[in-house]
């Protein structure tokens, strides 16, 4: 509440002034927030316990009373049209991560090939929350104390319905693009993905120690299985040299490899500077890789 403004009980109790072209929430009834990350953010808002204001805030968001909305590093600013002619100014501030904290987060994310691939593909794995927690920097505000919420309206409550409306619009912007959530904490999509592309996941492209002499290099199931095979000297089996010495059944009994997207390497590599009719080569190849992966899985099941 700003000094010199009417107290909340003097506040005009009429409905808000109708707005044309405002930012409307897609949700028309029930809860707002489709994805796990937007619901986690709204859980903090609901922890305030002001159900009446939150309900009116949802109504404001659905009516399109938010007329301006901007998200930047650590701060969301907006203007909300209420019942008075002058729209109210709203700000929601969160402490962004420091450069050192982001370096640690990037290191942990970049060391996991699947995390890295999913982020590069524009996906937000649920486990990312655990990565931030392990770095001591929670991804989401843990409580109302982690948010500085301000509105120029005369209502003393936090959040007021104008703040709540902006929070619901913010949650739907997170639904549309989860990287907005990371940008709010200080790292935009392009900057984060560029940092991840520059990191090599653990176990990829790294030279290990040379194996001892007399041992078989590599740790794949096939290599380990072949290393245990013994047989007569080569000179004693020239007649049936081309016959299979290791039964096909033993080869088929190999343990399954960990699941990975069929286009994993395509995602990890830098995008090739080739386009076909305005579409990037990687976007063209991605469904082909996916179909090849499906056909491979079907062939294994048939066997």
DSSP string, 173-217: HHHH-THHHHHHTT--HHHHHHHHHTSPPTTSS---PPPPTTS--
pLDDT, one tens digit per residue, over 149-191 is: 999 999 888 889 999 999 999 999 999 998 999 999 999 888 9
pLDDT value for 276 = 74
pLDDT-based confidence at residue 247 (cuts at 50, 70, 90): low
- 253 has pLDDT over 50: no
What does the pLDDT average to over 32-55?
A: 83
pLDDT-based confidence at residue 297 (cuts at 50, 70, 90): low
pLDDT-based confidence at residue 277 (cuts at 50, 70, 90): confident
What length does the chain have? Answer: 303
pLDDT value for 4 = 52
pLDDT, one tens digit per residue, over 208-222 is: 454 454 444 444 554
Opening angle at CA 270, ends 268 and 275, nearest 5: 120
Percent of the chain with pLDDT over 70: 69
- CB distance 141 to 227 below 8 Å: no
What phi-psi label fits residue 30: left (phi over 0), alpha (psi between -120 and 50 degrees) or beta?
Answer: left
What does the pLDDT average to over 262-289?
A: 72
pLDDT, one tens digit per residue, over 263-272 is: 666 666 666 7
What does the pLDDT average to over 241-267?
A: 58
| Other CB atoms within 10 A of residue 70 CB | 9
Helix axes 99-110, 189-197, angle to 10 degrees: 50
What does the pLDDT average to over 45-61?
A: 84
Judged by DSSP in three states, 94 sits in: strand
pLDDT value for 280 = 74
- 198 has pLDDT over 70: yes
DSSP 50-62: -HHHHHHHHHHHH
Opening angle at CA 148, ends 143 and 152, nearest 5: 135
pLDDT value for 260 = 63
Query: Is pLDDT larger for residue 103 or for residue 235?
Result: 103
Residue 68: which H helix or E strand, with range? strand 66-72
pLDDT, one tens digit per residue, over 135-148 is: 998 888 887 788 89
**Claim: this prediction has a pTM higher than 0.75:** no
- 227 has pLDDT over 70: no
What does the pLDDT average to over 86-95?
A: 95
pLDDT value for 272 = 72
Query: What residues have CB less than 8 Å from 295, skipping those under 6 apart?
Result: none
């Amino acid at each position: 509440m700003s000094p010199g403004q009417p107290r909340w009980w003097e506040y005009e109790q009429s409905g808000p002034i109708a707005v044309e072209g405002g930012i409307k929430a897609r949700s028309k009834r029930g809860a707002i927030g489709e994805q796990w990350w937007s619901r986690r953010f709204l859980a903090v808002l609901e922890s305030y316990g002001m159900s009446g204001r939150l309900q009116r805030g949802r109504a404001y968001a659905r009516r399109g009373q938010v007329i301006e909305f901007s998200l930047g590093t650590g701060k969301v600013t907006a203007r909300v049209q209420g019942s008075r002619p002058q729209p109210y100014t709203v700000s929601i501030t969160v402490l962004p991560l420091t450069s050192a904290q982001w370096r640690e987060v990037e290191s942990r994310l970049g060391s996991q090939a699947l995390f890295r691939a999913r982020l590069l593909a524009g996906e937000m794995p649920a486990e990312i929350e655990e990565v931030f927690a392990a770095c001591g920097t929670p991804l989401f505000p843990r409580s109302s104390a982690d948010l500085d919420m301000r509105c120029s309206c005369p209502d003393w409550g936090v959040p007021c319905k104008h703040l709540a409306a902006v929070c619901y619009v913010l949650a739907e912007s997170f639904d549309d693009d989860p990287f907005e959530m990371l940008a709010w904490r200080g790292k935009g999509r392009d900057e984060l993905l560029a940092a991840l592309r520059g990191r090599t996941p653990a176990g990829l492209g790294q030279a290990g120690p040379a194996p001892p002499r007399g041992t078989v290099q590599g740790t794949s199931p096939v290599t380990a299985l072949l290393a245990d095979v013994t047989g007569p000297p080569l000179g004693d089996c020239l007649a049936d040299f081309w016959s299979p010495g290791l039964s096909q059944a033993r080869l088929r009994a190999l343990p399954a490899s960990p699941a990975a997207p069929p286009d994993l390497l395509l995602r990890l590599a830098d995008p090739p500077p080739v386009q076909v009719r305005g579409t990037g080569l990687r976007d063209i190849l991605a469904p082909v890789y996916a179909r090849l992966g499906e056909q491979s899985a079907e062939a294994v099941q048939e066997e």
